[in-house]
Amino acid sequence: MKQTLFDKIWDAHVVRSIPGGLDVFYIDRHLIHEVTSPQAFDEIEARNLPLFRKDKIVATADHNVPTKNQHLPIQEPLSRLQVDKLTENCNKYGVELFGLGHQNQGIVHVIGPELGITQPGMTIVCGDSHTSTHGAFGAIAFGIGTSQVAQVMASQCLLLSKPKKMRITIDGPLHKGVSAKDLILYVISKLGTGGATGYFVEYAGSAIRSLSMEGRMTVCNMSIEMGARGGMIAPDETTFDYVKGREHAPKGEQWEQALAYWKTLYTEEGATFDKEYFFDASDITPMITFGTNPGMGIPISSSIPVNVPTGEAASFDKSLQYMGFAPGESLIGKEINYVFIGSCTNSRIEDLRIVADFVKGRQKASHVEAIIVPGSKHVEQQAIAEGLDKLLAEAGFELREPGCSACLAMNEDKIPAGAYCVSTSNRNFEGRQGPGSRTLLASPLVAAITAVEGKIVDITQYLN
Amino acid sequence: MEKFEIIQSGAVPLPIENIDTDQIIPARFLKSTSREGFGENLFRDWRYDNSGNPKADFALNNPRYSGQILVAGKNFGCGSSREHAAWAIYDAGFRVVISSYFADIFRGNALNNGLLPLQVSDQMLQRLFEQIEKDPQTELVVNLPEQEFYVPAWDERVTFDIDLYKKECLINGYDDIDFLVSQKEAIEAYESTRPWAY
Ligand code: SF4
């Protein structure tokens, strides 16, 4: 039978299948962070187990860290405790840690790829749902709960049933100003937040192929927002060029061996999926969300829908009420007070370049607070090396130190109740960016333009 | 993990769709390094106002409803993978969540913590909401060994699906770690077949 990319990698990682349909599934890389690992370490300790393969675990501090003065002790006692606990556990068990101040520190899904830890053909897990990001390399990568974190620590394996397979094909050229973020917001708006529950998604088609690795990561990152276990893209020259030479990438003889294998990782002609969707890239325009789940997205120039599927009206109304919007309304002209550029979706160097390029010679609106939180120390250093920090500062944007920041507002970077924030992150859930905060998800370009205008505008005027 | 067999209890209705784990337990309450105590902040921002007073119109604050069964709208537990969501629900005294659809990670997390995610059809969910609305004292009997639940008010039995391995684990209070650790030899043998790069 013809195999899909997903089948090939899945089958290569089955240690054994047990009666009842579950597989003992081997994990190549395990990424951990301060929020979802402490209880797992406790579990291991309580059972008096060693870490089965400690050299396959990499740790970083990201969710809870301040984005100012990272060289000073963390002010907030509970955050400090979590970060200290991670350090203590990593030291005790001999796990490699990129803690605060380390040159490799950053958001777990940004550092894996940039250090070459993430490679095609791998299985990668992390106690964080956006682990799907790593699928951009042609890896099976997905988020797990803390009990599973402990399972991987104890055995390097998980007990899983093989998910169903979905392929989403997007063909054709993308319009100017339409980014990977718009593409994925568009797809999620079509499928809905539960549209891919139970499936593992492969993205294909010429529009996907044309994306850079960073764009592909943005797409795979948000797979979870339509319920998918993960998303993936077959590796190609773009992938190999990106991985080559990175700190943890295979070298010399091993590189050649790896490359030969990676080139076998694609979906064969005639292989079948449980579900397929096709989209035309030319239908996609810059997107923004208006509601409280990422499926509630619209082209920025259109209006909030009036008709919603029967049975969903109550949830829809509740959502609009929270956001302070009305059905049929346009978002154009809405005043915005906060702009957040960051998160594992859009905090990489290409995102920062887009923002810096746009704001060069411009000023943010005086009533807007605009913060940019790079995804990692390396991104931050690169931005400084390219002089982006100066361009951003001149335009009134604040470049912070790396972490998850206002993506989930566990640290002090919170959006006040009732305020609107145009955010490049991935979730617009109620209170996600702070109690009562109202989030509108968009691309880095839309976010930058919003900061300058101080309100939502139809960005097409800037595109020529 | 506590053993799960039969639960007979009233139910608390939350007829809202796409309840994400940020609502179940907001991120700012994830700072504990232990598993206990999350129940206090279950549905924090829906349950309490800004000054910490209970909101009277929220089901968990409504004395009409009580029990170990939470009945919630479609696509329950979407969003963040935080297992704290399952811990919080369990910690608040629930043993079963009924919905017509569960997000994958939440379903797995619940099963790993002795909390049964029980999936029913959209129609059945609707009927349950209507029944509980009509009679807040409505009792349900969830029988895991038989894979069915019984609604005395209708004298009706409804079967449900669950993975057989997971069912055994719940009934016996086992978890996957015990099983996976017992597979050490097979895992090592597997590792020896993948000599390079990874
Ligand atoms: S940036 Fe946001 S979505 Fe990404 S890992 Fe951090 S908290 Fe999760």
What is the count of structural domains for chain A? 2
- CB of A29 sitting under 6 A from ligand 1: no
Cβ–Cβ < 8 Å for A426, A441: yes
Encode pLDDT of A242-258 as tens digits.
999 999 999 999 999 99
Please check whether residues A211 and A313 belong to one and the same domain: no
Please check whether residues A140 and A18 belong to one and the same domain: yes
The answer to whether position A201 is within a domain reads yes
Please check whether residues A252 and A359 belong to one and the same domain: no
Query: What is the domain range of residue A454?
Result: 290-462
**Residue B85 in tokens:** 């969501």
Whole-prediction pTM value? 0.94
pLDDT above 80 (res B195): no
- From the alpha carbon of A410, which atom of ligand 1 is closest? 7
How many angstroms away from the CA of B143 is the closest CA of chain A? Answer: 20
Q: How confident is the model at residue B175 (pLDDT cuts 50, 70, 90)?
A: confident
Whether A313 and chain B come into contact, CB under 8 Å, resolves to no
- From the alpha carbon of A108, which atom of ligand 1 is closest? 5
Whether A129 and chain B come into contact, CB under 8 Å, resolves to yes
Judge residue A328's burial from the number of C-beta atoms within 10 Å of its C-beta, 0-12 exposed, 13-18 middle, 19 or more buried: exposed
Q: Which of A231, A250, A276 is a domain's end point?
A: A276
Encode pLDDT of A127-180 as tens digits.
999 999 999 999 999 999 999 999 999 999 999 999 999 999 999 999 999 999
Phi, psi of A231 (to 5 degrees): -135, 155
Order across the sheet with A57-60: list the strands. Answer: A96-98, A57-60, A29-33, A123-126, A140-143
Which of A143, A258, A410 lies closest to B27 in CB terms? A410
Whether B93 and chain A come into contact, CB under 8 Å, resolves to no
**Residue A164 in tokens:** 């169903």
* A344, A347, A405, A410: residue to mutate for ligand 1 pocket, most atoms within 8 A of CB: A344
The answer to whether position A295 is within a domain reads yes
Judge residue A247's burial from the number of C-beta atoms within 10 Å of its C-beta, 0-12 exposed, 13-18 middle, 19 or more buried: exposed
Residues of B (30-49) whose Cβ lies below 8 Å from A: 30-35, 45
For residues A168 and A277, give the distance between their C-alpha atoms in angstroms, rounded to a whole number: 5
Please check whether residues A263 and A299 belong to one and the same domain: no
**C-alpha of residue A432 to centroid of ligand 1, in Å:** 11
Please check whether residues A186 and A105 belong to one and the same domain: yes
Please check whether residues A162 and A58 belong to one and the same domain: yes
Q: How confident is the model at residue A464 (pLDDT cuts 50, 70, 90)?
A: low
pLDDT above 60 (res A416): yes
- CB of A126 sitting under 6 A from ligand 1: no
pLDDT above 70 (res B196): no
For residue A441, give the nearest of A130, A230, A225, A127 by alpha carbon: A225
How many angstroms away from the CA of B73 is the closest CA of chain A? Answer: 9
Domain boundaries, chain B: 6-193
Which of A47, A128, A198 lies closest to B177 in CB terms? A47
Encode pLDDT of A304-321 as tens digits.
999 887 778 888 999 999
B81 and A128 in contact by Cβ < 8 A?
yes
Which of A146, A429, A435 lies closest to B20 in CB terms? A429
B81 and A81 in contact by Cβ < 8 A?
no
Please check whether residues A193 and A235 belong to one and the same domain: yes
Q: Which of A276, A308, A338 is a domain's end point?
A: A276
The answer to whether position A283 is within a domain reads no
For residue A439, give the nearest of A453, A426, A452 by alpha carbon: A426
Q: Class of the B6-193 domain?
A: alpha beta
Please check whether residues A241 and A302 belong to one and the same domain: no
For residue A436, give the nearest of B88, B48, B38 by alpha carbon: B48
Encode pLDDT of A394-408 as tens digits.
999 999 999 999 999
Please check whether residues A344 and A235 belong to one and the same domain: no
- CB of A343 sitting under 6 A from ligand 1: yes
* A36, A426, A433: residue to mutate for ligand 1 pocket, most atoms within 8 A of CB: A426
Residue A51: DSSP 8-state: P
- The pLDDT, as a whole number, for residue A315 is 87
- CB of A378 sitting under 6 A from ligand 1: no
ipTM of predicted assembly, 2 dp: 0.92
For residues A213 and A201, give the distance between their C-alpha atoms in angstroms, rounded to a whole number: 17
Please check whether residues A256 and A350 belong to one and the same domain: no
Which of B84, B109, B183 lies closest to A24 in CB terms? B183
B163 and A157 in contact by Cβ < 8 A?
no
Residues of A (80-119) whose Cβ lies below 8 Å from B: 81-82, 85, 119
CATH for A199:
3.30.499.10
pLDDT above 60 (res B197): no
